[in-house]
Amino acid sequence: MRIFVTGGAGYVGSHCVRELCGAGHDVMVFDNLTSGGHREAVDDRATLVVGDLANAELVQGTLSEDHFDAVMHFAAMLNVNESVSEPLRYYHNNVSNTVSLLQSMKACGVEKIVFSSTCATYGEPPVAPLTEDLPQEPITPYGRSKLAVEWVLRDSAAAWGLGATALRYFNASGAAADGSLGEDRDPEYHLIPLILQVPLGQRDHIKIFGTDYPTPDGTCVRDYIHVEDLAVVHRLAIESQAPGEFRFYNVGTGHGASVREVIDAARKVTGHDIPAIEAPRREGDPAELYADPSKIMRELAWQPAYPNIMPIVETAWNWHKAHPQGYASVGR
């Protein structure tokens, strides 16, 4: 297939592009190289077009000229806390730009899309693990923007035959097994890279926000899904997508690791005594968020290659240790 990948220079997108290219697909990356997008992260086998989804003329012209079979859509703003203070930016970038992309797809006859959604669409669910039939009640503009796109995809599938899959990620983590691709975001707000900044000498300690949750060690529990496992899921989803069908899946390992467990794993992997300072809870942090991935395992015949936290942290450390300044360390 010829696949148009928005945000394909970003963290998850770049790993997915590599997976697609390795499977023999013809890939074009469309990325504005901001918000975590890096030219150096784009696979040499893919074509890169630097552009913004807000430029509808460029998007439609590119889709029209190159005759694509499908789209993978990663381009989005992701900072949950920032979305609360700047909701209009998030609705414009995540929702309006996606509607524009879909209009271009319809005009050009591109009938398949895989969408990077999030478990944040569930809000603060009362139970864990999370199944796909739980109510979607997001509590932030970020989560609501992602849910709004899911609604648009569902309605488009019914109205004009779009084939769409929404993949509701849990915590994307880790790095490429060969150490050549990883996470490079400024500012960084994901737990594992923040922890690893301590042994790199880039921060003095890591904060634990809340130690009185109803969990085994009192800290939040999250489902960490390796980025290469996510890449395989995206490939399986696009290869099996049928026009006119809307599908949605939770993508996780089926169990969680606590904040303390992740810190302990990083201490073992790095050999560094990572100081941790206890801090008050952050508003809106559920005690436990982890997936029931049985639906995607059953329907796409998928199993995570990295089901446990230790190898996930190991691959992240290999990347960050070799690239302490991210892609600025690559020199490509």
169 catalytic per annotation = no
Amino acid letter for position 111: E
**Under 8 Å between Cβ of 295 and 249:** yes
Q: Phi, psi at residue 27, to the nearest 5°?
A: -120, 135
Q: Is 99 helix (H, G, I), strand (E, B) or coil?
A: helix
Three-state SS for 298?
Answer: helix
The Cα 45–Cα 23 span in angstroms is 11
Count CB-CB contacts under 10 A for residue 58: 16
Contact 224, 170 (CB under 8 A): yes
Beta bridge partners of 222: 257, 289
| Token representation of residue 295 | 């639906």
HEC string of 152-207 equals HHHHHHHHHCCEEEEEEECEEECCCCCCCCCCCCCCCCCHHHHHHCCCCCCCCCEE
Closest CA to 165 of 95, 114, 105, 238: 114
The DSSP 8-state label assigned to residue 134 in this structure reads: S
**Structure tokens belonging to residue 308:** 């446990």
Do 6 and 93 touch, CB atoms closer than 8 A?
Answer: no
Candidates 23, 38, 318, 44; CA nearest to 192 is: 318
List 142, 213, 224, 306, catalytic entry: 142
Query: Rounded CA gap, 142 and 182, in Å?
Result: 23
Positions annotated as catalytic residues are: 142
